[in-house]
Chain A
Amino acid sequence: MLEAINLHKRYHQGEVDVVAVDRFSYRFPAGLTAIVGPSGSGKTTLLNLLAGFDVPSEGEVWLDNTPFSTLSEDARSELRLKHMGFVFQQWNLIPTLTALENVAFPMMLAGISLKERTTRAAALLEAVGLAGRAKHLPSRLSGGEQQRVAIARALALNPPILFADEPTGNLDSASGARVVELLMRQAQEGRTVILVTHDLELARQAQRILRLRDGRLIEIEEAPSDLPAVPTGR
């Protein structure tokens, strides 16, 4: 369970203090949660704080029973490896590794044997429909294929939390739809999927939408009850 308590992030820009995230509190349940807001509303900064890429000026992020945001860089890295998967808008893959090696990379960090991680990575690529592209370098994959490899990699260690930051931003509608479908499937399987987007069409597919403006959480919109039920446990 991921929970933000009174998260606050200030930046110094010259002599001016800019507040990027302003007293954000929320407990993320399982299922798909979309964070929306206009450009500059603090979506990316919030994701940075939730994922432990950055530390808050005030407040805390708790991961299960651990005060995640107060841990050291390396301790946060370790927890990220085990509990979180990431799909970014771009710069998702390591350019000198093949699709298979990219998917296997987190498993290598976790100390899983070569044989096991190769088998698992191949299975994950097959699950996202890219079995035939396993030995291709990212430069030889389309944008949609790269995002699917990133999803396969995000699932490598079967983490309970998945972050997706504008995952369809650079994709055509068909590729985007396929990526969204994959993310939805993860949410339906009981993962906490946190989707950051400015695309309201995409956000409407989530179980709940958090609206940000000027770094503040201004609205929480729950999806109508006729949407597919989301299991509570994993």
Chain B
Amino acid sequence: MGVEVLALIYRNLRARPVRSILTLLGIVVSTASMVLFLSFGEGLRKALGAELSTVGPAVLVLPEGVEAFSPGYPELRPETVEALKKSASELGISQVIPYVVLTRGGLDPQSAFVFQGIPEGLSPKALYPNLTLAEGSLVPGPKGAVVGSRLAERNQLGLGKVLRLSPSISLRVEGILKPNGGLSDNIIYVPSSVVQEALGTRNYTAAAVGVREGFKADQVAEAIKARIAGVNAQTTGDVLRFAERAVRISDLVRFGISLVALVVGGLLVANTVMMSVYERIREFGLMRALGAKQGFIFGLVLLEALLLGVVGGLLGLVLGQAASGLVNWFTGREVGLALSAITFRLASFALLVAVVLGLLAGFLPARTASRLKVVEALGRL
């Protein structure tokens, strides 16, 4: 492939700048939209992975029929928690931390308050070892609360400020955490008795269970399920697998949506290259007359489409990255989470799609150009 070929491709695209730029924009936007759509899945994966890696205890014990990411009304009975504690040494359990979750203010992250009730006298670090204190105390007192950084910032909660959990229960902010970029930035840690009182129950949402040295998390989880009736025990790996399944399904849905944009982008390239082929029939005829083989013409046209695909894909990746940054800035401000992530594999996939798109879009025009009859192409009939 000579510099003449590169010059041919480049100058041909430059000869019709508006059309080339519009086509390129089509690919850029379709690739960027695909990158952005798929980046949500990568963001979720990253957030979940980061979140679970900061979770201390390796096994989560939930009431049967409840999944880790859908805690409803607390259903884990105190007797069950006691049974867990009693069999601890036998089952390879190092610690049992029952907790109860209460959400106030609905689904809007701006106004939602997530209270996580933990055993009195315990630091939330027992659940999330990565937490660090910004000011005050890390262990909430009997009517105290330790607040995640994002939530504190959003609601201007300073030390000593009063939070109302229910009409009769008020809590004083005793500690504020440093941001760590995870879900725990949006949680208020309080004694579990307070949450149970507000909900009018003695039940827990779940219990985080630590695994003793020499035992494996999945064996412990199996042993718990076998020994304790009415519970489901999941390791962080199980939780991650469950989440991964859910994210993968949503990936497919999002890819399906972005496929429409991709098909439109591909048709744009095909249209541009096909028009360019029709406009350059004499040129191709001349090349053939001079001695170019059919494969040369095919490659030339295909390369032009491929170039549009690759350049459009690269620029689309840059635009997608910018859009992802914007989304993260927004979701970071609103819910304290980076929802979108462009990973290496997503970037590679997007480029691969752009290349395949270019090849598919160029195939038909390239075939048409390469099969032209020299006499017809040169207008020598």
Interfacial residues, chain A to chain B (CB-CB below 8 A): 44, 48, 51, 53-54, 73-74, 77-78, 80-82, 84, 86, 88, 91-97, 101, 104-106, 108-110, 114, 117, 153
Q: Verify A53–B375 contact, CB threshold 8 A.
A: yes
Q: For the complex, what is the distance from the CA of A227 to the CA of B247, rounded to whole Å?
A: 88
Q: Which residue of A lies closest to B282 (CB)?
A: A91
B2 CB–A CB distance under 8 Å: yes
Partner of B380, one of A53, A78, A96, A101: A53
A96-B15, A97-B7, A105-B4 known; A91+B295 contact, CB < 8 A? no
The interface residues of chain A lying within 8 Å CB-to-CB of B289 are 51, 53, 80, 86
Please report whether the interface of chain A is mostly helix, strand, loop or mixed according to DSSP. Answer: helix
Rounded to whole angstroms, the CA-CA distance of A94 and B290 in the bound complex is 11
Contact-size category for B: 20 to 34
- CB of B381, distance to nearest CB on chain A (Å): 8
List 7 A-B residue pairs with CB atoms under 8 Å apart, sorted by A's residue number.
Answer: A51-B289, A54-B374, A74-B293, A80-B289, A94-B287, A105-B287, A106-B290
Docked-complex contact B375 and A48, CB < 8 angstroms? yes
Q: Are A54 and B375 in contact (CB under 8 A)?
A: yes
A92 touches B286 (CB 8 A): yes
Residue from B3, B11, B285, B378 within 8 A of A96 (CB atoms): B11
Can you list, as one digit per residue, whether each of B1-27 has a CB less than 8 Å from chain A (1) or not (0)?
011110110011001000000000000
User: B290–A81 contact, CB under 8 A?
Assistant: yes
Please, how many angstroms separate the alpha-carbon atoms of A84 and B374 in the complex?
Answer: 15
Which B residues between 289 and 336 are near A, CB-CB below 8 angstroms? 289-296
- B295 contacts A109, C-beta separation under 8 Å: no
Given the known interface contacts A81-B290, A86-B290, the answer about A95 and B4 at a Cβ–Cβ threshold of 8 Å is no
When distances are taken between beta carbons in the complex, the residues of chain A under 8 Å from B287 are 94, 105
In the complex, chain A residues whose CB is within 8 Å of the CB of B378: 53, 88, 91
Chain B positions within 8 Å of A153 at CB level: 290
What are the 6 A-B residue pairs with the smallest beta carbon separation, nearest first?
Answer: A81-B291, A108-B2, A96-B11, A53-B374, A74-B293, A54-B375
Known A-B contacts A96-B12, A97-B4; the reply to A109 vs B290 at CB < 8 A is yes
**A94's contact among B8, B291, B373, B375, by CB below 8 Å, is which?**
B8
Give CA–CA (A110, B291) in the complex, Å: 9
With a cutoff of 8 Å between Cβ atoms, the chain A residues found around residue B150 in the complex are none
Across-interface contacts of B283 in A (CB, < 8 A): 94-96
CA distance A76 to B288 in the complex (A): 10
* Residue contact B4 to A101, C-beta cutoff 8 Å: yes
In Å, the complex CA distance between A88 and B7 comes to 23
- CB A58 to nearest CB in B, in angstroms, measures 17
Could you list 5 further interchain pairs (A-B, Cβ under 8 angstroms) beyond the known A54-B375, A92-B286, A106-B291? A48-B374, A80-B289, A84-B291, A91-B285, A104-B2
Contact B286–A77 (Cβ < 8 Å): no
CA distance A114 to B4 in the complex (A): 9
Chain A residues positioned under 8 Å from B293 (CB to CB): 73-74, 77-78
Residues of A within 8 A of B3 (CB): 101, 114
Q: Which of B11, B291, B374, B380 contacts A109 (CB 8 A)?
A: B291
Q: How far is the CA of A153 from the CA of B292 in the complex (A)?
A: 14
CB distance A78 to B291 under 8 Å? yes
